[in-house]
Structure 1
């Protein structure tokens, strides 16, 4: 049975690259009726936090990536790592290293002056018995290093094909650190073996680690999983995506109003090419269509503009009722509505604004005036003209007399008023728009006036007149 895993480290938020890797593992498992395992690699004790564990779990849940087993924590498995490291030692395939970091750095500095590339010089492999006994008496901390055999190590990558490395390029790497915790390359081999992982699907920045891990599998006479190394996600400058390109945490995009199904769809296309030119997929369609063989070797650019476009398309597909349900938490959190808000009013607002939304947070920015009237007047210099105060004052008296507050009646009355005054409609429409919204753009003015209601419109126009009078 196919069994894959995602193994994030709780030293930070779930990175979009890790999320894409998790998605591909999930799709691969579901495609082949396999298992998707969640493992938390928390052996970096100083930097790992419970808060980040919860953020990672929440992010995976938001993406809809339901794991079948776990979460398992590496920190719960220390005894097993020590047991396997002891076996490798007893088999003569590893040795204790008493070198301090300072000693290694000094030898490295001197060696590099020759222009050669440093790798650990096996000093502790050749220690005499007396030296070992002295270090033990001194209470020196010791790590365990794995002995790299001569020869070459190769493997078949499901994406990149055959990959080979000369073992001479690999140093005797640490498998157990002097603090008693395992190194990354050692822990993942033990975990993947014990969990029965059949396919390791991860970023191609791990390709250099794979020969080391294969050597450990061989040393332990364990069956090796298959490997597939995914292309990196790139920033717009085509370098590896990082914080300097913008926010890279999955939770940020959730908090900014990206729909989970849009984000999953977007991530799926960062490296994988469907057989046709389709761009929109449900999760079930992704499971059905996904094929690891159609994942490319070249990095894919994280295009925020495309993400926003895709998200806007998903928003348009929502019914007004679905959109209300999805947007409500954002509006409550931003204190634009209360928990007992007028659902009919919000429904009217969303019916008007739905086509303009790229995210669930956009209404807070471009539709703030539907909920609050403490806005500033932006772009007011564009609508000022001589006589604006008098014209708007007369128009205010006019709208106070409107009995049936409907957009068609409001529009007809305004046009009649402008004809009677001998002024162009823009001399009333533009000032009224900025008076009741604070901005110079947006949906149709008369639709906005109808939704806001007569009382609110009158109050806001009066406030604007006070502003003009005071200015």
Structure 2
């Protein structure tokens, strides 16, 4: 039987989740989906001081928003403490781990001496049990850490699916602390137990974890497991070339939602932020899953390009279904207190505005024009913005609307052209005054489309106030 692919996303809920983090969720999700496997969400919340429920909620919301729902999870590490203690007990019993009583002060003095000798700072194995070695009596009342007995000599070698063959000498690795003095397990230990228990076959994560990998492979082998396939993704850089992070001004996924980005645009953008399928720039989630593979993951750092993301969002809005877009706009409509009962059908307004909008928020901003009520123009405003010479033409156009009762922008355009011909006017000479009469502004979408959306009766009523 072929091996069932199982991948995972294992964020720490110690801060908000930005686009770089989400890419580390997207690729393992896509790989599992493309292979008919399982995608597991694991919350690594052992850092209780920095972990927060709000951060967990943001992770879950962001993944759900993008459609990256897991097959299993969320699984919380803090709920697996009994399992970790069981494995620690097992490792102490089989000799792959040991108690270390070196105090923090002693460890600091050791490191200072090593640095003075221009040596790499590392634990010297003082409490490591070896055949023929006599260990001192443990100091009274000292709480020991538990260290992993790392192999001596040889190398850790693995074929990374992105970076190729990587070899790290075991002499570069000291005996890692796998449990603190209070008994709580450490990150590298928990990760291995989790990956082993959850039968993870492929670990797709950021390359800031490369240095952890040889330690995790050694612990995995000590527990009798087979290491998964590792694929370490290059860093995502911000516009200034720095690593994307909150400290450097990266936006959270919630920020993109609040700015009116579509999830399909963000997913499409993230997919191309380190992976490619020929020259394809725009593709659906279904196409992405069908095409995704590890062979085409990039080896160079990917750079965040806000303009490209905005361009993609504009594309998806422009091509989007007006009914769905209208529904997605509703939170913004409510936030801005727009009363949709005081104007035309909102779906029609969205259909009119979507071709020019980059975000849902821009659609809503443009929609305000249609729901702000009829303008109460003073005589001075009319005289300054609507030339007397054009008023007869406006009256003629109004009468043509009454007589023809146009329903489409093409029918409205026909009546506009008839008035322009009769009065020998250019379009701007008529369109600008009509716009002002309708909205008290000359900045609107195409006039024929606007009038079709507003409806004949409302337009006639507003134009009747002129002249």
The TM-score with structure 2 as length reference comes to 0.82
Stretch deviating more after TM superposition (25-34 or 103-112): 103-112
Provide the residue aligned with 2:329 in structure 1: 327
Gaps of 5+ in 2: 407-411
Query: SS at 1:83's partner residue?
Result: helix
What's the secondary structure of 2:20's corresponding residue? helix
Aligned to 1:466: none
State the alpha-carbon separation in 1 of the partners of residues 426 and 297 from structure 2. Answer: 60
Secondary structure of the structure 1 residue equivalent to 2:279: coil
Q: How does 1:44-443 map to 2 (within 5 A)?
A: 44-101=47-104, 104-105=107-108, 107-109=110-112, 111-125=114-128, 132-134=138-140, 136=141, 140-151=142-153, 152-243=155-246, 245-274=248-277, 276-337=278-339, 341=341, 344-372=344-372, 388=384, 391=387, 402=398, 404=401, 408=413, 441-443=443-445
| CA apart distance, 1:281 | 1.9
Change in Cα spacing, 1:392 to 1:46, as seen in structure 2 (3 Å) is farther
Q: Structure 2: how far apart are the matches of 1:342 and 1:128? A: 87
Task: Describe the superposition over 1:44-96 as per-residue Cα deviations: whole angstroms up to 9, x where unpaired.
Answer: 11121222222211211111112111221100111111121122223333332
| Of 114-123 and 200-209, the range deviating more from structure 2 | 114-123
Would the aligned equivalents of 1:234 and 1:302 in 2 still touch at CA under 8 Å? yes
Instruction: Give 1:6 deviation, angstroms.
Output: 1.0
Structure 1 residues without counterparts, runs of 5 or longer: 376-383, 463-471
Question: In structure 2, do the counterparts of structure 1 residues 330 and 435 end up closer, same or farther at CA, with 3 Å as the change threshold?
Answer: same
What CA RMSD, in Å, does the superposition of the two structures yield over aligned residues? 3.8
1:43 is matched with which residue?
Answer: 46
Alignment correspondent of 2:20: 17
- Distance (whole Å) between structure 2 residues aligned to residue 9 and residue 393 of structure 1: 69
Do the aligned residues in 1 keep the contact of 2:397 with 2:419 (CA within 8 Å)? no
TM-score (norm 1): 0.81
Paired residues of 1:200 and 1:225 also in contact (CA < 8 A): yes
**Aligned in 2, Cα 1:100/1:319: closer, same or farther, shift over 3 Å?**
same
Shift of residue 22, structure 1, vs aligned partner: 1.5
Relative distance call for 1:426 and 1:145 in structure 2 (3 A) is same
- Quick check: 256-265 or 439-448, which moved more? 439-448
Residue matched to 1:381: none
Contact 1:388 1:427 in 2 (8 A): no
Note the alpha carbon deviations across 1:202-257, whole angstroms, 9 max, x for none: 11111110000011012222222111111222212333212355433222212221
Structure 1 pair 192–389 and aligned structure 2 pair: CA distance change class (3 A): closer
Which segment drifts farther, 360-369 or 144-153?
360-369
Q: Count how many residue pairs are aligned between Structure 1 and Structure 2.
A: 445
Give the Cα separation in 2 of the matches to 1:43 and 1:236.
33
Task: Provide the C-alpha distance between the structure 1 equivalents of 2:148 and 2:215, rounded to a whole number of angstroms.
Answer: 9
Are residues 5 and 388 of structure 1, via their aligned partners in 2, closer, same or farther at CA, if it must alter by over 3 Å?
same
- Is the CA contact 1:436–1:457 (under 8 Å) kept in the aligned structure 2? no
Q: Do the aligned residues in 2 keep the contact of 1:435 with 1:461 (CA within 8 Å)?
A: no
CA distance in structure 2 between the aligned counterparts of 1:133 and 1:292, rounded to whole angstroms: 51
